[in-house]
């Protein structure tokens, strides 16, 4: 499904360059749910932005279903079947929730279709469908609508950047259900979730730990999770990360 | 009433009119009234001294509408029209004006509509005015609307003005005077392109206790166009005034927003907001991740913004 080959990403900093990702290689097979975790600033969001084409790697290649997409635009990658729910969703003056869901689905969906996506993310559709996606929405509401746009797209690969951030504890189980339903409904679909939450790590097939721009650990959940929570120092680290939601 | 297809299309653009409107109306085409109907409560008569009409709405008229669209399709036509609205007390009416110019010729076409409103006590008026230009002639399409609003106690006026396409030059002036408890809401939407120029000037005077005004302009300036939004609110009593100019610039567009607040009473609360900038890159990016091209994303963002 998705293959990252020796991805590095540098940004200019004064006269030098600052390396944000170094030689990251990673394979996400079809039908898998992969959770990427690791300390703040480790490079997780950057990696997701590289996959979506929002940033271009300094070196390395990105393959999607065997096709080299490294030089493709965001639009082209989206059309090939990649979706991305941003860590910090964007607000639009004037665009309504229904407009955004229509654009996401690529069809002129009816309000009742749109309602299904909103209900799935725990929003009472009637109250939201005509709301503007502007500053009047709360952080959690905006985050849920962002997730709904990815649901509406229903692509083969969906990436969620800290989907749980800002979502109340009470709704957490629903969120987990959303990912499980996606796996069931879209055949062979792969999901990448960037998260610091143990409850999301618990539903992963595989866990990837990004730290300081490099892959620190990678493997099946059963192997990685005990190592993250097993040692005293790691535990401390995880608690610190877990509390550091934005 | 005989209208050709261009005139019909202009009417659809400016007044959503596809057939003869319900209620009172006057349709003006190339400086002639081509259809007029008064109703029991709404009387439309021609002025005798200048070009234009008097529209008298009886006190207590509720849930009725007046349509007064204007279309110009002859190149080189230039006209000034005065329309006066006398709205009695306790009314609740909708007034739909608007002007469409189609200019396929070399000479400039110009319509200057001066609309004056006297809104009676406790009356509620919704006023909609759309401007639209079409035709590929080199002659300019010019619209200079003047609007004067005199609002009696506890009256409400909601004005919706839109000019989205095809008008080369506009100099709009709106003045309003509000008595105690009167409320004015203005929503202006404007898009300019090519070498168009649009000026919009407001002078709103809040003269009575509890008067309020909310004047909001959303605009997009593309290509080499120029816009000036000049909104002045004067608070002469305990009152609330708010003006807002929210604009997107693209290409070589230029926008000047001139705030003007004058408080002559210690309990006058006046606020001005203005924001001008290009489309946020992250908005484009987000829509592109949904599969839109950059141009499609731009279009959606602007459509939404001006909706
Ligand atoms: N365009 C950029 N210019 C400079 N520094 C950048 C740029 N993009 C990212 N960074 C830096 O790269 C590092 C990785 O950022 P990234 O957002 O990928 O981290 P993250 O793992 O998602 O962190 P968090 O858990 O806080 O969301 C950070 O130190 C960040 O400041
Ligand atoms: Mg991040």
pLDDT tens per residue, range B142-180: 999 999 999 999 999 999 999 888 899 999 999 999 999
Q: Report pLDDT digits (tens) over B236-271.
A: 999 999 999 999 999 999 999 998 999 999 999 999
Q: In chain B, what are the helix, strand and coil shares in percent, each to the nearest 5? A: 10, 55, 30
Nearest to B122 by CA among B96, B91, B168: B91
Q: Is residue A142 part of a domain?
A: no
Q: Is residue A99 part of a domain?
A: no
What pTM was computed for the model? 0.84
Tell me which of A10, A38, A44 to substitute to probe ligand 1's pocket, judged by most ligand atoms within 8 Å of the beta carbon: A44
Q: What is the pLDDT of residue A243?
A: 44
Is B140 in contact with B106 (CB distance < 8 Å)?
A: no
CA–CA gap between residue A193 and residue A164 (Å, rounded): 10
Extract the tokens encoding B169.
């030059």
Extract the tokens encoding A128.
């939201």
- The number of distinct structural domains making up chain A is 1
CA–CA gap between residue A220 and residue A225 (Å, rounded): 8
For ligand 1, whether the C-beta of A191 sits within 6 Å is no
Q: For chain A, which ranges sit under pLDDT 50?
A: 232-246
For ligand 1, whether the C-beta of A40 sits within 6 Å is yes
Q: Report CA(A40)–ligand 1 centroid distance (Å).
A: 8
Within a 10 A sphere around the Cβ of B259, how many other Cβ atoms? 17
Q: What is the pLDDT of residue B1?
A: 61
Q: Report CA(A25)–ligand 1 centroid distance (Å).
A: 18
Atom 1 (ligand 1): residue with closest C-alpha? Answer: A11
Residues in Cβ contact with A107 at an 8 Å cutoff, skipping those fewer than 6 apart: none
ipTM of the complex: 0.90
Between CA A155 and CA A167, with CA A161 as vertex, the angle to 5 degrees is: 105
Supply the CATH number for residue A39's domain. Answer: 3.40.50.300
Q: What is the pLDDT of residue A236?
A: 46
Q: Is residue A128 part of a domain?
A: no
What chain A residue is nearest to B284 in terms of C-alpha separation?
A90
Q: Is residue A108 part of a domain?
A: no
CA–CA gap between residue B128 and residue B158 (Å, rounded): 8
Q: Is residue A134 part of a domain?
A: no
Considering only CB atoms, B305 lies closest to which of A73, A74, A94, namely A94
CA–CA gap between residue B288 and residue A78 (Å, rounded): 7
- Give the containing element (helix H, strand E) for B245: strand B239-249
Extract the tokens encoding A68.
């080299």
Q: Which residues pair with A241 in a beta bridge?
A: none
Q: Report CA(A212)–ligand 1 centroid distance (Å).
A: 10
For ligand 1, whether the C-beta of A155 sits within 6 Å is no
CA–CA gap between residue B33 and residue B43 (Å, rounded): 15
Chain B contact for A107, CB < 8 A? no
Q: Is residue A10 part of a domain?
A: yes
CA–CA gap between residue B91 and residue B85 (Å, rounded): 13
Nearest to B73 by CA among B147, B25, B139, B169: B139
What chain B residue is nearest to A99 in terms of C-alpha separation?
B304
Chain B contacts of A73, Cβ < 8 Å?
288
Inter-chain CB proximity A74 and B306 less than 8 Å: no
Nearest to B44 by CA among B66, B14, B70, B16: B66
Chain A contact for B293, CB < 8 A? yes
Q: How far is CA A2 from the centre of its chain?
A: 14
Chain A contact for B223, CB < 8 A? no
CA–CA gap between residue B302 and residue B307 (Å, rounded): 8
Chain A contact for B269, CB < 8 A? no
Q: Report pLDDT digits (tens) over B61-92.
A: 999 999 999 988 888 889 899 999 999 999 99
Chain A contact for B19, CB < 8 A? no
Residue B24 has pLDDT above 70, yes or no: yes
Q: Is residue A59 part of a domain?
A: yes
- The length of chain B, given as a count of residues: 307
Q: Show the domain range for B188.
A: 5-305
Inter-chain CB proximity A75 and B293 less than 8 Å: yes
Q: Show the domain range for A220.
A: 1-72+197-203+212-246
Q: Is residue A119 part of a domain?
A: no
What chain B residue is nearest to A97 in terms of C-alpha separation?
B304
* Side-chain-facing half-sphere of A170: CA atoms under 13 Å: 2
Percent of chain B with pLDDT over 90: 76
Q: Report CA(B83)–ligand 1 centroid distance (Å).
A: 61
Angle between helices B294-305 and B281-289 (to 10 degrees): 120
- The number of distinct structural domains making up chain B is 1
């Amino acid at each position: 499904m998705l293959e990252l080959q020796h991805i590095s990403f540098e940004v200019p900093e004064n006269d030098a360059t600052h390396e944000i990702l170094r030689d990251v290689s990673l394979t996400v097979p079809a039908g898998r749910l992969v959770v990427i975790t690791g300390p703040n600033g480790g490079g997780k969001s950057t990696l997701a932005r590289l996959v979506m084409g929002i940033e271009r790697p300094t070196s390395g290649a990105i393959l999607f279903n065997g096709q080299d997409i490294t030089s493709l635009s965001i639009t082209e990658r989206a059309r090939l079947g990649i979706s991305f729910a941003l860590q910090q969703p964007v607000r639009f003056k004037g665009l309504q929730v229904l407009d955004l869901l229509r654009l996401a689905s690529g069809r002129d969906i009816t309000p009742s279709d749109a309602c299904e996506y909103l209900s799935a993310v725990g929003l009472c559709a009637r109250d939201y469908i005509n709301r503007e996606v502007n500053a009047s929405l709360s952080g959690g509401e905006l985050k849920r609508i962002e997730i709904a746009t990815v649901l509406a797209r229903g692509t083969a690969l969906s990436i969620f950047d800290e989907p749980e951030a800002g979502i109340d504890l009470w709704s957490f189980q629903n969120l987990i259900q959303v990912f499980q339903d996606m796996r069931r409904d879209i055949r062979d679909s792969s999901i990448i979730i960037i998260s610091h939450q143990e409850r999301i790590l618990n539903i992963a097939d595989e866990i990837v730990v990004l730290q300081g721009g490099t892959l620190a650990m990678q493997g099946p959940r059963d192997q990685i999770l005990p190592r993250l929570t097993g040692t005293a120092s790691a535990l401390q680290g995880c608690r610190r990360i877990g509390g550091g939601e934005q | 009433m005989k209208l050709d297809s261009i005139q019909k299309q202009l009417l659809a653009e400016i007044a959503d009119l596809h057939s003869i409107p319900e209620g009172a109306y006057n349709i003006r085409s190339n400086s002639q009234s081509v259809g007029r109907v008064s109703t029991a409560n709404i009387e439309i008569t021609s002025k005798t001294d200048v070009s234009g009409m008097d529209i008298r709405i009886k006190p207590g008229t509720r849930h009725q509408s007046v349509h007064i669209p204007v279309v110009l399709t002859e190149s080189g036509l230039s006209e000034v029209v005065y329309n006066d609205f006398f709205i009695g007390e306790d009314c609740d009416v909708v007034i739909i004006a608007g002007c469409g110019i189609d200019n396929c010729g070399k000479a400039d076409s110009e319509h200057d509509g001066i609309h004056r409103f006297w809104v009676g006590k406790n009356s509620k008026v919704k006023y909609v005015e759309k401007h639209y230009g079409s035709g590929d002639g080199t002659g300019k399409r010019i619209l200079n609307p003047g609007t004067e609003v005199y609002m009696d106690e506890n009256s409400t006026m909601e004005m919706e003005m839109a000019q989205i396409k095809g008008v080369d030059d506009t100099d709009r002036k709106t003045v309003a005077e509000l008595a105690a408890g009167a409320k004015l809401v203005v929503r202006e939407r404007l898009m300019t392109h090519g070498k168009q120029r649009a000026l919009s000037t407001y002078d709103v005077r809040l003269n009575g206790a509890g008067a309020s005004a909310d004047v909001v302009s959303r605009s997009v300036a593309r290509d080499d166009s120029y816009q000036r939004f000049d909104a002045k609110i004067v608070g002469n009593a305990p009152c609330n005034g708010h003006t807002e100019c929210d604009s997107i610039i693209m290409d070589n567009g230029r926008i000047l927003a001139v705030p003007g607040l004058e408080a002559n009473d210690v309990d006058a609360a006046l606020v001005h907001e203005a924001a001008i900038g290009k489309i946020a890159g992250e908005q484009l990016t987000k829509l592109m991740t949904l599969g839109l091209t950059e141009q499609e994303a731009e279009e959606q963002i602007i459509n939404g913004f001006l909706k």
